A and B are shown apart, each in its own frame.
Chain A
Amino acid sequence: MSSWNLPIKAIGESPLVGEGTTFDSVTDTVCRVTENKAPRGWWVAFLLAASFTGVLLTAVAYLFWHGIGVWGNNAPVYWAWDITNFVWWIGIGHAGTLISAVLFLFRQKWRTAINRFAEAMTIFAVICALIFPGIHVGRIWYAYYMLPLPNEMSIWPNFKSPLIWDVFAVSTYFTVSLLFWYVGLVPDFATLRDRAKNKTRRLVYGSLALGWRGSNRHWQNYERAYLILAALSTPLVLSVHSVVSFDFATSLMPGWHTTIFPPYFVAGAVFSGFAMVMTLMLITRAIYGMRSLVMMKHLELMSKIILTTGSLVGYAYAMEFFIAWYGGNDYERFLFVNNRMTGPMAWAYWIMISCNVLSPQVFWFKKFRTSIPVMFVVSILVNIGMWFERFVIIVTSLFRDFLPSSWGYFRPTLIDIFTYAGTLGLFFTAFLLFIRWVPMIAIAEVKGVMPEADPHFGHDDGGHEGSPEHMAAHVAAEVEASS
């Protein structure tokens, strides 16, 4: 007896929307954000984000003009903030795919409140991520060498290198995520089109809605397409970050050459992604009055996922240490004890541990799991911690080379900092535009999980909402019959 197709009350669930929410109020709450004037706070945030995007463009132009030397990367730390930022951004994207695809296949109905939001975040995060491998090649005009294009030189990328696997993994991921996001948006764009008061809005949203009429056949095709895309995205949740981890795991560097990397990276990606969804959701939900759609229940479930994945990551950290000791490789032991836990880079290591492993542990307690300030602080800390995780993995493995004579240290330059801050600006610019012009909550899907969506809703008493007792009795009979 599975529970996914039963009415919510039959399995003792509470509704996934606030008291008094109707189909009409869902549509109105979500659509009016795009229809009313933007609040002043939006403009402040947008201008700030847009100026940071300008910083990004300037920093990248400077980089192209002068070359990679303007970054802090140098012998022996050849990879630093560029790859750190790349992995960080890609990881953040993963929560969106997990929420939209994996939770969909597992019939986690609560995902409807946050999936649109998280998918948008995925797309913008992947765009930010893609910038770094693009610009870190030094001679930007040869960036196309990353693609296996037939050419007059008869040379190809090295197919044995995980870097080319990365190109495939990330570009597939971006394409599928974008399609998935857009397919989900079609019915909601049609809603916006139908509510449009002026011609421009009607034409723009009308084009985006691709002629959606909401007919039975449309819904059937839509559901099928959505299911197929969910099934396509699900393996990507696991594969993309596994491939990213191969960049390190297939090398022979102590601290990188570890078989735990793929699952460890995937857990970390989901962890950081959920933290980012939470940070953004807490702010947006408060500003736009979405509390009846994104309820404490949703936030609590997200806290639980953060706790789970944070502990998985903590386990991976512990296991890396254990294997370094148990494996008996002197270089690996030296790396973990002398370069990570102690030594000049230890500060980064301990920031990582305290943010990623310790801070989510507060979510064991319901009091903190349901406290907005605690959630906000922890989600920010996790974002910081996950950035440091990638920094620690990359830089502490490199800065003390095998020859003590070539030991060094890494210091970021201003351009490093500007580039990173600039991608944050780009991300928030895109995100604010998304909030302003696109329904940020999947209207159609939220309606689908409301009690009203049950075909039998209110039938027994002449079209009015059934009394809870009546509903329960009716449902119990149904459960009886179907088992």
Chain B
Amino acid sequence: MQIFPRSLNKLPLILGGVGTIVPVLLIGAIWYYLTPKNFQVGYAPTQPVPYSHRLHVGQMGMDCRYCHVNVEVAAKAMLPPTQVCMGCHSLVKTDSARLAPIRESWDNGMPMEWVQIHKLPDHAYFDHSAHLAAGVGCVTCHGRIDQMETVRAEVPLSMGWCLECHRDPKPNLRPRDQVTNMEWKPEMAANWTAPDVHPPQHCSGCHR
């Protein structure tokens, strides 16, 4: 005695098909979309003042370290205080409307509230000085800042991305005096070889 119609014989096939395709799509979607590759890259928030790195770095050729002064000696690269801006802007563009928040900050002594773009989790102890000392260029992690009107995250900054370089650092190293050079390529230094550095790959290298 059969209680189900014959057409139900197709059910295992359909279930098998759906049961394969749906999980594969789901896994693929999670794999791509729920990752820093998707969430982190392209993050370009509006800043209180539309400071243009393209103008300052790209066109006027200012060095990164003019504003991010301590980057070679400290873990965190500082953001310039209002005073650094005013070093020039007390003489240049003194009446620009777009610079009004800077002047206000200068007057009342309250620091500017820039929006942080390159964020690492609290349990990752990243140190700028160590990376610059080894010869990792700014551009490796921050992208072509000199071409950005608004700063935008270029790399995922995920742990896997960090480890890629920690496992094979040489392609990302450059001479110490070229770290802030946005255009440096390995071909540009013919008789320079990357130093033999051994970045940590154990947990406590970054998670203390």
Contact = CB atoms under 8 A, between A and B. Distances in A.
Interface stretch (A9-17, A47-55, A150-158): A150-158
A202 interface: yes
A153 B160 contact: yes
B3 A151 contact: no
- Residue among A150, A154, A194 facing the most chain B CB atoms (10 A cut-off): A154
A283 B180 CA distance: 80
B115 interface: no
Nearest to A203: B3
- Residue among B2, B3, B161 facing the most chain A CB atoms (10 A cut-off): B3
Interface string B146-162: 00000000001011110
A94 interface: no
Interface string A81-102: 0000000000000000000000
A152 B35 contact: yes
A436 B2 CA distance: 25
B207 to A, nearest CB: 11
Contact of A206 (B4, B9, B160): B4
A154 B35 contact: no
Contacts, number: 31
Contacts of B159: 152-155
Interface string B131-169: 000000000000000000000000010111101100000
Interface in B1-47: 1-4, 8-9, 31, 35-37
A211 interface: yes
B164 A154 contact: yes
A369 interface: no
A193 interface: yes
Interface in A138-193: 150-155, 193
Contacts of A152: 35-37, 156, 158-161
B204 to A, nearest CB: 14
A207 B4 CA distance: 9
Interface residues of B, number: 17
Contacts of A206: 3-4
B77 to A, nearest CB: 24
A260 B185 CA distance: 61
B1 A194 contact: yes
A206 B4 CA distance: 8
Contacts of B164: 154
- A interface, over-half SS: loop
Contacts of B156: 152
A123 B161 CA distance: 42
Contact of B160 (A154, A194, A202): A154
A449 to B, nearest CB: 27
Contacts of B9: 211
B185 to A, nearest CB: 27
B4 A153 contact: no
A68 to B, nearest CB: 19
Nearest to A194: B1
Contacts of A211: 2, 4, 8-9
Given A153-B160, A154-B159, A155-B159, A202 B35 contact: no
A150 B159 CA distance: 12
B1 A151 contact: no
Contacts of B8: 211
Interface string B46-90: 000000000000000000000000000000000000000000000
A202 B3 CA distance: 8
Nearest to B203: A155
Contacts of B163: 153-154
B160 A151 contact: yes
Nearest to A151: B160
Contacts of A194: 1
A211 B3 CA distance: 9
A152 B9 CA distance: 42
Contacts of A154: 159-160, 163-164
Contacts of A155: 159
A153 B37 CA distance: 12
Given A152-B158, A154-B160, A193-B3, 20 more contacts: A150-B31, A151-B160, A152-B35, A152-B36, A152-B37, A152-B160, A153-B159, A153-B160, A153-B163, A154-B159, A154-B163, A155-B159, A202-B3, A203-B3, A206-B3, A211-B2, A211-B4, A211-B8, A211-B9, A213-B2
27 contacts: A150-B31, A151-B160, A152-B35, A152-B36, A152-B37, A152-B156, A152-B158, A152-B159, A152-B160, A153-B158, A153-B159, A153-B160, A153-B163, A154-B159, A154-B164, A155-B159, A193-B3, A194-B1, A202-B3, A203-B3, A206-B3, A206-B4, A207-B4, A211-B2, A211-B4, A211-B9, A213-B2
Interface of B: 1-4, 8-9, 31, 35-37, 156, 158-161, 163-164
**Which 8 A-B pairs have CB atoms at the shortest separation, nearest pair first?**
A154-B160, A153-B159, A152-B158, A154-B163, A206-B3, A152-B35, A152-B160, A153-B160
